[in-house]
Amino acid sequence: MRSKGVGGVRPRQASPRALAIAGGVVLVAVIAIVLGVVLSSGSGGGGGGNGGGVLDGLPAIGSATWAGALDGAPEANGLFKGIPQKGLVLGKPTAPVEMEMFIDVQCPLCQDYEVNSLPTVVQDNIQTGKVQLHLQPWAFLGDQSFTGRLGVIAASFQNKGYEYAKVLYDNQQTENTGWLTSREMATIAASVNGLDLKKWWSDVNSSGAKSIASDVSKLATTAHVQGTPTVLVGCTGGKLQDVTTPGLVPTLQQTQQGIDGASCS
């Protein structure tokens, strides 16, 4: 079955401030709370510039070969090399078939599809110009689904969203265990060739990224998406159909059958 979320976002708790005053001694110690440090513990959002230390020690421009690059980075970057990518859309605009994929960054079933099925779809259909893929980063499994998808969207502003998502899934850990911290998101970004990290971090926290995230959520509701991954296929500009029975995980075979079965001029 597809991953099905619990829905909703827990309210972020404010960090405490400590003010100590020694009796009889004029001594006031003010402890400054840096939002970026709080965010790096996993709550996400906020901050500009260097992200309050989130980007410390990372390369200014991402690279799959820097010393701290994550597992699978070279392969993830190589998979999409040379394929047109604009925002969250991958493939030639002239492609007759359109594929739409709803994912959640914490979803283990999405990881399975992204790692084991999507590379073949990319090589056999997108690279050849037959299919254009529209990525829809949805969020419903927990807090870090909401903050984590902003990392994908921010990378898409530099036309690197697919590489970012692939590195993320290659290094995904158990959902709702707090693994997808702001620092982990930044390390993923640092493993994507050519990604400007300061711009990426600024975009993570931008209204533009949050607006796209909101649009994806509305689209999921309109399309009656019940879980992730969900793969819809059809003729470009036409009505798209789920390649599987509702509630089941799409397979590579079902995806290919959906692509081959689309009668598009």
Read off the pTM: 0.81
Q: For the segment 203-254, what is each residue's pLDDT rounded down to a tens digit?
A: 999 999 999 999 999 999 998 888 899 999 999 989 999 998 777 789 999 9
Q: Determine the average pLDDT of the residues in 39-67.
A: 71
* CA neighbor of 101 nearest in space, from 36, 152, 34, 159: 152
β-pair partners for 235: 97
At 41 the pLDDT is 38
Residue 68 has a CB neighbour count (10 Å cut-off) of 12
Q: Which residue has the tokens 């931008």?
A: 206
Q: For the segment 63-109, what is each residue's pLDDT rounded down to a tens digit?
A: 999 999 999 999 999 999 999 999 999 999 999 999 999 999 999 99
At 248 the pLDDT is 78
Average pLDDT across the chain, whole number? 83
φ/ψ (deg, to 5) at 258: -65, -40
Tell how far CA 139 is from the center of its chain: 10
At 50 the pLDDT is 59
Q: For the segment 99-151, what is each residue's pLDDT rounded down to a tens digit?
A: 999 999 999 999 999 999 999 999 999 999 999 999 999 998 888 999 999 99
- Domain boundaries, given as residue ranges, for the chain: 19-261
At 215 the pLDDT is 97
Question: What's the pLDDT band for 5 if we cut at 50, 70, 90?
Answer: low
Query: Is residue 36's pLDDT more than 80?
Result: no
196: Cα within 13 Å, side-chain hemisphere: 8
Q: How far apart are alpha carbons 90 and 108 in whole angstroms?
A: 22
The conformational region for residue 135 under phi > 0 = left, psi -120 to 50 = alpha, else beta, is beta
At 149 the pLDDT is 96
At 3 the pLDDT is 59
Query: Is residue 30's pLDDT more than 60?
Result: no
Say if residues 54 and 36 touch (Cβ distance below 8 Å): yes
* Superfamily of domain covering 19-261: Glutaredoxin (3.40.30.10)
Tokens found for residue 12: 């972020």
